[in-house]
């Protein structure tokens, strides 16, 4: 396991665990760390087969539940009885799985641009991405990724940053087989049957201009959960926490504050990786 514990600026703080999407790397959450650390102890991690853990070869049939089990290992390793779980896309699926199988480990759940089951549009997008990977190669796949993640105007204004991100993504690429296994896992995922039984506080955040996951998926989640807090923004794309961090952070912090209390409180400086 490869994880980082970011101690809070407060002497005593509840824990927020951040789980990334398909890229899987802890660094995805950089725009949230400073704001969260003012109030919370934060755990970030590289999902198995990605980032600093990319040397691990994933097996055929690797599942969202397998990914969720790794989160439990991290919570155990950091003496974290329960946490506020925040997941982006695939990371949100991990959170839904945890909420169904191990609800006592989650104080709240936030799902960003997630889904209960992938719809036809999202499946088409992933089929295109897989075709790029298999037929055009890794570099073409990496260079196409920003199109699915960010609004066009934001991309045009951040070309220099995109060049740097492409180079970083190529250098730390998780591997063709690992990426395929992870895409297969998210396409197999289906939480429809158990959503009505989830009883913990849930925040659903989506952007109307997300070209990968329609915001209507978050609306469906909200309806199935019968009470989840739904926040839909007009702009931001699939990676809205990166393109519009101030608004995203404000929404997340408001939700976390409303559901504070009853989670694991860790004294400042007690834990290190």
- For the chain, the structural domain boundaries read 2-267
Confidence of residue 97 (pLDDT cuts 50, 70, 90): very high
Residue 264 φ then ψ, to 5° = -70, 125
Give the H or E element holding residue 106: strand 106-112
273 pLDDT above the threshold of 70: no
Q: Could you report the per-residue pLDDT of 80-90, keeping only the tens digit for each?
A: 999 999 999 99
pLDDT value of position 262:
54
**DSSP state, 134?**
I
CA-nearest of 12, 2, 55 to 265 is 12
- As a whole number, mean pLDDT of residues 166-171 equals 97
Question: Which class does domain 2-267 fall in?
Answer: alpha beta
Question: Measuring CA to CA, how many Å separate 27 from each of 20, 95, 127, 156, 165?
Answer: 9, 19, 26, 22, 12
Side-by-side strand order, sheet with 2-6:
2-6, 41-46, 15-19, 83-88, 106-112, 202-207, 229-233
Tokens of 156: 């045009």
Write out pLDDT tens, residues 130-167: 999 999 999 999 999 999 999 999 999 999 999 999 99
* 213-222 pLDDT, tens digit each: 999 999 999 9
């Amino acid at each position: 396991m490869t994880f980082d514990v970011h101690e809070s600026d407060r002497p005593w703080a509840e824990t927020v665990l951040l789980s990334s999407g398909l890229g899987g790397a802890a660094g995805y959450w950089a725009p949230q760390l400073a704001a969260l650390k003012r109030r919370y102890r934060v755990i970030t991690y590289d999902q198995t087969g990605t980032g600093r853990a990319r040397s691990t070869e994933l097996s055929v049939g690797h599942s969202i539940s397998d990914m969720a089990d790794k989160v439990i290992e991290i919570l155990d390793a950091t003496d974290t009885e329960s946490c506020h779980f925040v997941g982006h896309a695939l990371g949100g699926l991990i959170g839904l799985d945890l909420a169904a199988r191990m609800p006592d480990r989650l104080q709240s759940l936030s799902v960003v641009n997630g889904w209960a089951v992938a719809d036809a549009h999202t499946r088409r997008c992933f089929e295109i991405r897989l075709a790029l990977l298999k037929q055009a190669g890794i570099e073409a796949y990496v260079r196409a990724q920003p199109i699915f993640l960010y609004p066009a105007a934001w991309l045009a204004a951040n070309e220099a940053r995109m060049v740097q991100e492409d180079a970083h993504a190529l250098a730390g690429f998780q591997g063709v087989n690992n990426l395929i296994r992870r895409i297969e896992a998210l396409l197999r995922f289906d939480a429809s049957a158990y959503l009505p039984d989830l009883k913990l506080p849930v925040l659903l955040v989506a952007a109307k201009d997300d070209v990968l996951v329609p915001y209507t998926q978050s609306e469906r989640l909200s309806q199935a959960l019968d009470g989840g807090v739904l926040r839909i923004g007009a702009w931001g794309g699939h990676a809205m926490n990166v393109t519009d961090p101030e608004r995203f952070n404000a929404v997340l912090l408001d939700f976390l504050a409303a559901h504070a209390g009853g989670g694991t409180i860790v004294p400042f400086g007690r834990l290190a990786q």
